[in-house]
Amino acid sequence: MSVTGPRYSVIIPVHHDTEHLLRPCLNSIFEQDYTNYEVIVIQDGRCDIVDETVNRYAGVKLLVTGDECRGAPVARNMGARKANGDLLLFFDADSRLKPGALSLWVDTFAKNPEAAFVYGGYRFSDRPNYIPAQPFDPYMLTVQNYIGTMNPVRREWAPEWDESLKSLQDWDFWLSVVDKGGKGVMVEDFLVVTEYPDDDSVSGDSAANWLERAERVKAKHGILIRDICICSLGAPQHARRLAELVGADFNNSPWYKPNRYRVLVNLGFYVTTSGGIEGHAQLLANTAPDTQLVNYWIGEDVTQMRMLPHYDFLEATNFFRDNFRANFVEYEGTRAEVEDEFGIPCHVMPLPVVPDGLDLAPYPEQFTVAFYHGMANKYKVMQNLNVASQMPDVRFLIYGNAPFPADHKAKLPPNVEFRGFVPSVPDLIRETSCLLRTAEHDGFCVSHCEWIMAGRHVISDLPHRPGALCVPPNPIKVIDAIRDVQARANGAPDEERVAMRQQYIEMLRPEPWVEQMRSFIN
């Protein structure tokens, strides 16, 4: 049993609907292996059963809001004012802590001294449903709440609960923490088990009155009601970044709650995964009659269409042609494919990219080539490794989200390093002189744009890539192209690279894209 470390104040409002669940709730706390805590139960309206239950547990403080129920925010604020702990844990009486939860949270705080709060997902006790945690992202918190009430917060960061809100009180609470500069740290574990909410609960109120409740919280925190939503089952990270850039919402479940979206942009569709057409059709469910639906062809969308059986191909073609106000592609090469092969008229408009962090840094002293290893099998990773093995004087970096087998890592040439997922692409680019983008098929990829915007060189074995050195899909030609770039990538980027950077910045600025999407509203 551990008693060292910060002290918890576990604050538990109880009302008549949850009084019968208080005992298992308290048991789950008193059975924790971390014992430096106090428990404060706030009785929201008088109830003899609560008195009897609390008396069974030594040291539990019992407060009463009054004879009538005044709501959980009032009870939580009353408990917080009486609390002596370093960490405040606002807990629900119908919930239970998993063994080891308090210890794990304390350890996470210790490893992350900058964290204002720590949070995770939770499960329901009587059904298989669960709410997973999402990585901390202040922008996504302005779109929707993904942090539950029952997570510890440092006392100095804890605001008062808004006693005027009927629901979405937890969303308002965490927005208030983040508004002050607080940061959260996610833990992967499900540390809380709770009852599934009924229609009379606070969660039931938010579901029944979603727009009114959500818009009140957003207005309080100065969050705009965004009328453009971007979703993507196949490229969610790309869609989320784009949404923040252009002032839109990123929401992969726009059908789940009522909304006021006027334009819904589907970014890439990946028909051979993510539930196929059925999964994408759900994105369009429950949209308002005047919502304009826009589809963007990116990445390997064309390749996946070509792989479909004939019936599925016809179904997908009809779906994307008949259900969307417009189909867009990022460059002329993809438009020719989509229009000629699938009979779907398309407009050309590149997706916006801004050069944040992509400064014109000098080339690294050692000539370095990066190439991508993604989940799709279109990338010519083995060919690139063959090229690297024939160029021992050149450093190669492999990055991407696809796993790399351990036996393959062990056999990598000494001049090749596998980085995997990189949290900061600009930092990776500064280490490199050139991007090698080889694939069976490709769109107008973001990586290509980012390397160009940083004044770096790009080599591609696909035609019609502006600013890239395009070579035939032949390893010998690729080696020759790398040697050509190696001879030029010294010191600072030259005038040609600087001019190409400026061309891309102008071509990919977000304003024309937003104007185009808003034109559908009018």
Write down the pLDDT at residue 377.
67
Write down the pLDDT at residue 126.
79
Question: pLDDT higher for 51 or 139?
Answer: 139
Residue 172: exposed, middle, or buried by beta-carbon count in 10 A (0-12, 13-18, 19+)? buried
Residue 287: band (very low, low, confident or very high) from pLDDT cuts 50, 70, 90 = confident
Question: In the predicted model, what is the mean pLDDT of residues 157-177?
Answer: 96
Question: In the predicted model, what is the mean pLDDT of residues 419-439?
Answer: 92
The arrangement of strands across the sheet holding 395-399 comes to 416-420, 395-399, 368-372, 434-437, 457-460, 469-470
Long-range pairs of 406-413 with CB within 8 A, sequence gap ≥ 24: 412/385, 413/385, 413/388, 413/389
Q: What is the DSSP secondary-structure string of 156-187? A: GG-----TT-SS-HHHHHHHHHHHTT--EEEE
pLDDT, tens only, 61-103: 988 887 677 889 999 999 999 999 999 999 999 999 999 999 9
Q: Is the pLDDT of residue 465 over 60?
A: yes
Task: For helices 495-507 and 446-453, give the axis angle rounded to 10 degrees.
Answer: 130
User: Domain 8-220 classified CATH 2.40.50.140?
Assistant: no
Residue 47: band (very low, low, confident or very high) from pLDDT cuts 50, 70, 90 = low
Helix (H, G, I), strand (E, B) or coil at 397: strand
Phi, psi of 108 (to 5 degrees): -65, -40
Q: What is the DSSP secondary-structure string of 367-394? A: -EEEEE--SSTTB-HHHHHHHHHT-TTS
Q: What is the DSSP secondary-structure string of 222-269? A: T-----EEEE-SS-HHHHHHHHHHHT-EE-S-TTTS----SEEEEE--
Question: What token pair was written down for 470?
Answer: 């395009």
Q: Decide if 379 contacts 404 (C-beta within 8 A).
A: no
Lowest mean pLDDT among 22-31, 218-227, 314-323, 483-492: 314-323
Domain extent listing, the chain: 8-220, 228-348, 368-507
Q: Return the amino acid letter for 143.
A: V
368-507 CATH pick, 1.10.8.80, 3.20.20.20, 3.50.50.60, 3.40.50.2000: 3.40.50.2000
Q: Is the pLDDT of residue 19 over 70?
A: no
Write down the pLDDT at residue 4.
75
E strand residue ranges, 323-384:
326-329, 347-348, 368-372
Lowest mean pLDDT among 403-407, 435-439, 513-517: 403-407
Q: Is the pLDDT of residue 221 over 80?
A: yes
- In the chain, count H helices and then E strands: 20, 21
Question: What are the percentages of helix, strand and coil residues in the chain, rounded to 5?
Answer: 40, 20, 45
Phi, psi of 459 (to 5 degrees): -115, 130
Write down the pLDDT at residue 125.
84
Q: Is the pLDDT of residue 522 over 80?
A: no
Question: What token pair was written down for 48?
Answer: 């003899």
